[in-house]
Structure 1
Amino acid sequence: MPPQLLPASAAAFAPRASSVNVVLGSKVEPWLTQTLKRINRVKRPLNSVPQHQRCLTETLSSPNAIWTLASLMLPKWPDAQLRKDSNPLVEAIQNYDFIYIEAYIVHVDMVLRNEVAFKLTPDTIEALIEHHKEVSCANAKAGSYDWPEKEQHAKKLHDEFVQAINKYVFRTHVSALEGLEEEGVGELLCGRSEEVKNSIMTLLNKPLLPPPPKIVDVIRQPPLLPSSPVGAAIWSQTSHSPGVPAPVDSKRVLPSSPAVTSTSVDSNTPIWSNIPLHEIELQSSAPPFNQPYSSAGLFYSSPMVTSPIPALPLPSMLASHCGVNMGYGGFGWDRYQEYATTM
């Protein structure tokens, strides 16, 4: 694609140049010759390319050479302040006004791109900036929710429009010069005004977008490993197999009996200190009843199958048989002398 060549007068905030930059080819189109003859009151010779170029440059460089690109019917106030009326015509007259988009030609190229470039006049730029500030920004703020930096974003939106409307240059085919009239004024033909209207309305109605939500990084705590010092106490505890019951101190186990319904075990008080001697003897004479021991109450787990623990002999049983008549292997201590003599 050929480079887009524009003069310095087409830059943003640049004043209008005293002369228009016109570049013609080696051959002049017949329609351009007819247009120049039509708009000139004084007959001028148009027999060569330099004559066409000189005539077109002088015509477009006139201070009165202002083109009307389009006309916009825009509201006078924001949507919340528009007046209501039963007659639509009266309502339109009260609430809307026309802004004419006027421009002047800054560049004509009939060699590389076959185009003509228009730049908006200062009066048109000022009118559009005022409308954007008073109407478009107000509607944009009303159409979005509130956030802390909303006013700053609205001001930034207006500043961006000021820059964009000053940089705006409408470029179209050189055949648009067929709408040229006397003293260099003109009007766009063949539907080119719709292109200007759509592009400027896009700039005016740019929405006020809130900032995107901030992404907060969630810091997750790494899982505790067996080597972690915090979980050292957990891993250092003795774990028992689910199928094997925990070891039980034999001194803390008391066989059940019909005479004893419940027993409270204290870790500091001997279990035999609260039971009278005659009750112990009665319990020892009764047939033993073994109750299976289960450690399910000490752990939050499923019930476990445990084997019964054999009853241990009570001290009363040992006390009742201890004496001089107690023997080992069928021999008593009262016959000690007999065995001693024999040996």
Structure 2
Amino acid sequence: MPPQLLPASAAAFAPRATSVNVVLGSKVEPWLTQTLKRINRIKRPLNSVPQHQRCLTETLSSPNAIWTLASLMLPKAPDSELRKDSNPLIEAIFNFQLLHLEAYIVHVDMVLRNEVAYKLTPDAIESLIEYHKDIHCVNAKASTYDWSEKDQQCKKLHEDFVQAINKFVFTTHVSALEGLEEDGMGELLSGKSEDVKNAVMNLIKPLLPPPPRIVDVVRQPPLLPSSPANASMWSGPTTPSSLPAPVDSWRVLPSSPASTSADSQASIWASIAMTEVQLPSPTPSYSQPAFSQPYSSAGLYYSSPVVTAPLPHLSLPSMLAPHCGAGYNSFGWDRYQEYTTTM
């Protein structure tokens, strides 16, 4: 698409020019001829391109050549000051106003882009600026939370709108000139007014608060196994209490017919003295020490104590002789097995 060429009168804060820039092609469209004949009170010859260009330029350059692009329904006051009523019609009458977006034509191009350019009148620009400052900014400040630069941000938001609305130029196809009326006035047809409403309302930006600051979470480095016990809350997950604790190999006792656990057996055997255990003594075919050491020489493994019954105290023949009056031969050493079994 060829570049858009606009006159100096279309720039921001530029006054309206005394003459509209009109560029026509080598051939005039029939609809343009019919439109110019309809709006002219005085019959003028329209037999050539220069005649069409002169008639259209004089018509659009008239001070009364004001177009109504669209109409906006805007509130009269901030939300906190609006009137509340059970009747919606009463609320609409007292709380809203109709703002007409009036503009004038600054450029007509029927050669390169086939478009018409409109610029808002100073009165329409001033009305939009007042609405933005007194109503929109007040509602925006009331609907957002406070931060340190809120007033400066709202002021900058209004200044940006003032610049944007003064630079606003609406362009449409040259067929919009079919809505031309007497004295150069007119209005947009074919639903183009809705496009103007959307374009103007898009210039009214919301007040955006700054995003929340991201706070860096300082994580404590992992502690070594030698860390103090009070730092266990930062350590890794602990072993569930439902799992059985590991048992050292030196605590395991040999299998026993008792139904108690290994730890209870160890505590019972440790509490019983050597002299409290009474078991039938084996045949004294060998000599046995009075007690044996319950731990091995290595000191790492536990061995069950060897329980022995005390050997019977046998009286010698020399000790029995004075009492019994019997000699060595009469004592009966050949009956040694009987004494040992009865005792």
> Is the TM-score greater than 0.5?
yes
Give the match for residue 7 of structure 1. 7
Answer whether contact 1:290 1:308 (CA < 8 A) is retained: no
Instruction: Name structure 1 gaps, 5 residues minimum.
Output: 226-242, 244-256, 259-284, 294-305, 310-343
1:221, distance to aligned residue in structure 2 (A): 8.5
Q: Distance in 1 between matches of 2:301 and 2:221?
A: 45
Give the match for residue 300 of structure 2. 307
1:289, distance to aligned residue in structure 2 (A): 4.5
Give the match for residue 211 of structure 2. 212
SS in 2 for 1:203: coil
1:178 and 2:178 matched: yes
Give the match for residue 141 of structure 2. 141
1:177-227 deviation digits (Å, cap 9, x = unpaired): 1111111111111111111112222323x22111233456678798899xx
1:115-174 deviation digits (Å, cap 9, x = unpaired): 000000011000000001111112222222222222222112111111111111111010
Give the match for residue 155 of structure 1. 155
Q: Tell me which stretches of 4 or more aligned residues in structure 1 moved more than 3 Å.
A: 213-225, 285-293
Q: 1:132 to 1:47 in 2, by over 3 A?
A: same
Q: Distance in 1 between matches of 2:144 and 2:295?
A: 77
Q: Select the structure of larger CA radius of gyration.
A: 2
SS in 2 for 1:136: helix
Give the match for residue 100 of structure 2. 100
Q: 1:149 to 1:287 in 2, by over 3 A?
A: farther
SS in 1 for 2:70: strand
SS in 1 for 2:74: strand
**Residues 1-343 of structure 1: matches in 2 within 5 Å?**
1-204=1-204, 206-215=205-214, 289=293, 307=300
1:290, distance to aligned residue in structure 2 (A): 5.7
Q: Distance in 2 between matches of 1:121 and 1:29?
A: 29
RMSD: 3.1
SS in 1 for 2:202: helix
Q: Distance in 2 between matches of 1:105 and 1:218?
A: 60
Instruction: Name structure 2 gaps, 5 residues minimum.
Output: 225-247, 249-269, 272-288, 303-343
SS in 2 for 1:86: coil
Give the match for residue 338 of structure 1. none
Give the match for residue 243 of structure 2. none
Q: Distance in 2 between matches of 1:202 and 1:143?
A: 19
Q: 1:62 to 1:222 in 2, by over 3 A?
A: same
Q: 1:291 to 1:153 in 2, by over 3 A?
A: farther
1:11, distance to aligned residue in structure 2 (A): 1.2
1:291, distance to aligned residue in structure 2 (A): 5.9
* TM superposition score normalised by structure 1: 0.64
Q: Distance in 2 between matches of 1:115 and 1:221?
A: 67
